[in-house]
Amino acid sequence: MTAALNADLHCHSVVSDGTLTPEQLAVRAAANGVQLWALTDHDEVGGQARAQAAAQAQGMRYLTGCEISVTFAGKTVHIVGLGFDAEDPAIRQGLVDTRGGRGERAREMSAQLAAAGIPDAYEGALRYVGNPELISRTHFARFLVETGVCRDTGEVFRRFLTEGKPGFVPHRWASLRNAVQWITGAGGQAVIAHPARYGFTPNEEWALFSEFKAHGGTAVEVVTGSHTAAEAARYADTAREFGLAASRGSDFHSPDESHMDLGRLPPLPEDLTPVWTLLADRIR
């Protein structure tokens, strides 16, 4: 259970906004040499039993996972939960509540896109949705690529689905306190996902890490698909400064869209505590 273990503790299936099933992801992870795996669908644990069974069938060890959408300092932050009891009633209800506003938000996004000259985006996005409770911006992005409005999903987010652009609908997600407490209350460890992506000021980032720790959060994703080597080094320093453990996860969504494949990430810096050493008794 050292830093050299090929652990991939962040990815998405059709149960949220990925394009592969839990079983297909497990086959791909095992083929890429993953030894310890977690499926971390957005705001949802509906794929956990399938993922765990598929991991076992592929000879991989498994940690339960999810990625909870949180609103902090006016921005959306993602908190990965690992090794919690996926049957715990409090986290299950918390995730139901967190998912709850997605349908209405999607209809508002569609209305804005229609006003910008792109009709029927809600119906179009729905065709990509695997879980009706989990319609996300990613599904809209796939529809806008399919219809030729944009070349790739990155372009969709730049032009349409981010703050200040037509199609962006502000949304209030879970609180940082609740997300961390649902995870830790169910026996898991909470991880700040892909910290380089938030665009916080130094003060806001300091507040995020301080409050996260105060609520019982224990780890930060240092090595992840959207981090450059410099960003990984920077958040390795943050982990040392705040006394946090480190996680490693590709954030893989799709063979066609994701730049980082399952299990192909650089290793964690050796002096950091891998988050999975805190979860030895939760590994299945």
Q: Per rule CB under 6 A, is residue 258 in the interface with ligand AMP?
A: no
Query: What is the torsion angle, in degrees rounded to the nearest 10, for the CA atoms of residue 156, residue 46, residue 60 and residue 12?
Result: 0
- H or E element that contains 77: strand 75-82
User: Which entry of Mn ion, ligand AMP, none binds 69, CB below 5 to 8 A by partner kind?
Assistant: ligand AMP
Q: Per rule CB under 5 A, is residue 8 in the interface with Mn ion?
A: no
Looking at 154, 170, 255, 266, which residue binds ligand AMP (CB under 6 A)? 154
Backbone angles phi, psi at 135, to 5 degrees: -75, 130
Q: Per rule CB under 5 A, is residue 251 in the interface with Mn ion?
A: yes
Smallest CA-to-CA distance from 70 within 168, 149, 178 is with 178
Q: Per rule CB under 6 A, is residue 136 in the interface with ligand AMP?
A: yes
Q: Per rule CB under 6 A, is residue 218 in the interface with ligand AMP?
A: no
Looking at 3, 8, 15, 17, which residue binds Mn ion (CB under 5 A)? 17
Considering only residues 67-96, where is the footprint of Mn ion by CB under 5 A? 67, 78
Looking at 137, 142, 194, 248, which residue binds ligand AMP (CB under 6 A)? 137
Considering only residues 49-68, where is the footprint of Mn ion by CB under 5 A? 67
- Angle formed by the axes of helices 202-214 and 229-242, nearest 10°: 50
Can you say whether residue 46 is alpha, beta or left, with left for phi > 0 and alpha for psi between -120 and 50 degrees?
A: alpha
Q: Could you tell me which stretch among 12-20, 46-54, 140-148, 233-241 binds Mn ion (CB under 5 A)? A: 12-20
Smallest CA-to-CA distance from 218 within 276, 173, 269 is with 276
Nearest-CB residue for ligand AMP:
136
Position of tokens 């892909």?
Answer: 194
Query: DSSP code of 155?
Result: H
- Chain residues binding ligand AMP by CB under 6 A are 17, 42, 69, 136-138, 153-154, 157, 253
- Chain residues binding Mn ion by CB under 5 A are 17, 67, 78, 193, 251
